Structure 1
Amino acid sequence: MKKIKFAIEIGGGYTCIYVRGQGLALKEPTLVAAEPTADGYKVIALGNDAKKLVGKTKENIEIFTPSPSGEFSHYEYSVILLKHFLKKVGFKAHEDNALVIVPCGLSAKEKENILSVCEGANMGYVVLVPSVLCSCIGEGRSIDTSKVNMVVDIGGTATDLAVINMSTILKGATLGIGGKSIDAAIVNYLAYSQELVIGLPTAESLKNEVGSLYLNDTLNMEITGVDAQSKSPKGAVILSNDLRNAIEPFFSEIVRAIDTTINTLPPEIVADIINNKILVVGGCAKMQGLEDYLKKNLKYPVEISKDVDNTTILGAGKLLSDQQLLDSILKKI
């Protein structure tokens, strides 16, 4: 098998690139800013630069996350963004090979779309590896034994859950909810409950700073938005408890999905999951009170990853140095 030097995670929130022998070399928002022209759209900013423009541009400028596995209209922007990131880490076009992390449960067409984007970005040999396998490896768990692990990855635009053993996924599911869904819910909730209009960057800050699943949490944050009626500036102090009604339904849905998945499994596998604990990774795993919330609402023990933001890409990095395990995974997916 050809030697692979790069591991790439094109997440709904961030794109990460790990370079063998170097470590995590890039982590930037998966964002494109584009403005309309007579011939279509012109890209004006990418990654970190696009993030700085969120909420601060003319109305006709679109800032979005292209989906490499999704609709064809995103193909061009996915290629442009990936090329931009690869150039930053010294990727040699047509020469260097890569391991690309993907969600579990992708269709053959979606995998084909991702490989097409990689080809468009002038990448060499490319292998696709499910994110949940990388998450297990990143946390230091063995995936090539009969011992069963369950992983829940709460990302920017989706949540993956999977049951794993012998380097393969026994059962998996993907939910179309993640950190960005929560941001949008916070925007809508404050507009409805307090007639306060805020942008997604402010909602993201609220989520990260005072978002909590604890009942009666007293965390608070002062923000400025716009009064929905008068359109004039309006300040407010937002309490964690104010946001819980917007946030909690998403985690309730994740709990139901975990329960549904486990309820279909044989007792021996469930026993392993209980012994090993359900591993929770992804940016939203930082939510205050999540571990207690899951323990209260699930019948099963959970473990929040030690490095929720980077567990998956670091696991992929470990795979780059373990050819035997990588070969074993690729034979089974």
Structure 2
Amino acid sequence: MKKINFAIELGSNMTSIYKAGVGVVLHDRSVVVTGIKGKHEVAVAVGNDAYTSGMEYRKVVDNGQIDFSLAEILLGEYFKKIEITKRDGVLFLVSLDNMKYVAEFKNLAYALGVNYVKVLPSIIATTYGFEIENFRKSFLIVDIGVNTEIAVINNGRILTGATVYNGGSNIDQKIAKLIYDEKCIEISKESAEKVKNELATLLPNDIRSMTIEGFIKDTTEYSKVEVSSSDIFGIVVSEYSNIASAILQIISSLDSEVNLDIKRHGIYLCGASSKIAGIEKFLKVKLDLESFRYKPNIVTMIGAGQILDDEQNIEKLVAQNS
């Protein structure tokens, strides 16, 4: 009997693959440089090799939307690298919004020669990664990354949830626009992301600053400009306020018993864009929740490992959340 022995999360920034009994065997960028060989589009470089190649790379997942043709090229190279074959089974961990593409994910696996495949919302694996003791209660899970995943989960089943298109990607775009509009410098998306990672804060008195380079507006001349936390503070507060509003909207749809569980357990927070100064106090005030539990963005892969250990539970979780 075939067994699911790999879990795959094809994220907007990174692709992670977990092998049962081993751990994370791949964590690399979800980007690819392609070329034409005969009549077919093929990989020239993938992952970090593509990102640092100096060639124009393409994102496999752009603002949550998956290009399945590029995904086949990217995962084809990754499957070869870690030796996933037709004898293996794979579990795709996908965003809530992308659960409508279950058939496409299965066809992707089939195209890569893997015939045993399941699809599960990634936020279920995230819940397992928090190592919650009383799984029969209801818990609020929030994963803030490029976008934001919000779900209320009880006993491995999503009671309600949504993908919210607020998060790191929006902040990057707004930072680039602000620097262009106010400082007359055009910067790359990588530079905008660096500004976000270095300076984004929810603390109004943050005084950090940095110097970045870019093209002077409407010219080909290069220049440097200083950017501070206060410059981008309004962008950051607005984005996280939108996330808080989305969480409140989801909570408001729940019955009193589930709300009581959430009040008792608080918010379970993870994701690359949750690593921001002041977020705990900000969300406690916005959501009126006292308890706050945080784990880094590897939490989904930690949960994936736990799920892969129990084949029967995989079937149950997939059935509950399909």
Q: What is the distance in 2 between the residues matched to 1:113 and 1:160?
A: 21
Q: Could you list the per-position Cα deviations for residues 137-165 of structure 1 after superposition, in whole angstroms to 9, with x for gaps in the alignment? A: 101114741x1001111122x31111110
Where does residue 99 of structure 1 map in the other structure? 91
The alpha-carbon deviation at position 183 of structure 1 amounts to 1.4
Q: Could you list the per-position Cα deviations for residues 79-104 of structure 1 after superposition, in whole angstroms to 9, with x for gaps in the alignment? A: 01011112221212x11001110112
Aligned amino acid, residue 79 of structure 1: E
Identify the match of residue 83 of structure 1 among 76, 81, 84. Answer: 76
Q: Is 1:149 aligned with 2:142?
A: no
Where does residue 113 of structure 2 map in the other structure? 122
The alpha-carbon deviation at position 201 of structure 1 amounts to 0.9
Q: SS where residue 52 of structure 2 aligns?
A: helix
The alpha-carbon deviation at position 273 of structure 1 amounts to 0.5
Q: What is the distance in 2 between the residues matched to 1:286 and 1:13?
A: 16
Aligned amino acid, residue 114 of structure 1: F
Where does residue 65 of structure 1 map in the other structure? 60
Where does residue 328 of structure 1 map in the other structure? 316
Cα 1:142–1:89 change in 2 (3 A) is farther
Q: What is the distance in 1 between the residues matched to 2:123 and 2:59?
A: 25
Q: SS where residue 5 of structure 1 aligns?
A: strand
Q: TM-score, normalised by structure 2?
A: 0.91
Identify the match of residue 171 of structure 1 among 156, 160, 163. Answer: 160
What stretches of structure 1 of length at least 5 have no aligned partner? none
Tell whether the 8 Å contact from 1:178 to 1:284 is kept in structure 2 after alignment. Answer: yes
What stretches of structure 2 of length at least 5 have no aligned partner? none
The alpha-carbon deviation at position 220 of structure 1 amounts to 1.6
Where does residue 51 of structure 1 map in the other structure? 51
Equivalent residues in 2 for 1:260-279 (5 A)? 260-279=249-268
Where does residue 123 of structure 2 map in the other structure? 132
Instruction: Judge which range, 178-187 or 39-48, deviates more.
Output: 39-48
Tell whether the 8 Å contact from 1:294 to 1:302 is kept in structure 2 after alignment. Answer: no
The alpha-carbon deviation at position 305 of structure 1 amounts to 2.4
Q: What is the distance in 2 between the residues matched to 1:44 and 1:328?
A: 40
Q: What is the distance in 1 between the residues matched to 2:20 and 2:267?
A: 29
Aligned amino acid, residue 284 of structure 1: S
Equivalent residues in 2 for 1:282-321 (5 A)? 282-301=271-290, 303-307=292-296, 309-321=297-309
Aligned amino acid, residue 152 of structure 1: V
Q: What is the distance in 2 between the residues matched to 1:251 and 1:295?
A: 12
Cα 1:33–1:172 change in 2 (3 A) is same
Aligned amino acid, residue 302 of structure 2: L
Q: SS where residue 188 of structure 1 aligns?
A: helix
Q: SS where residue 201 of structure 1 aligns?
A: helix
Instruction: Judge which range, 2-11 or 226-235, deviates more.
Output: 226-235
The alpha-carbon deviation at position 296 of structure 1 amounts to 2.3
The alpha-carbon deviation at position 36 of structure 1 amounts to 7.8
Provide the identity percentage.
29
Q: TM-score, normalised by structure 1?
A: 0.88
Q: SS where residue 4 of structure 2 aligns?
A: coil
- Cα RMSD (Å): 2.3
Q: Could you list the per-position Cα deviations for residues 12-38 of structure 1 after superposition, in whole angstroms to 9, with x for gaps in the alignment? A: 110001111211111001112236899
Aligned amino acid, residue 303 of structure 2: G
Count of matched residue positions in the alignment of Structure 1 and Structure 2: 320
Tell whether the 8 Å contact from 2:32 to 2:46 is kept in structure 1 after alignment. Answer: yes
Tell whether the 8 Å contact from 1:148 to 1:273 is kept in structure 2 after alignment. Answer: yes
Where does residue 194 of structure 1 map in the other structure? 183
Aligned amino acid, residue 59 of structure 2: F
The runs of at least 4 consecutive aligned structure 1 residues that moved more than 4 Å come to 35-42
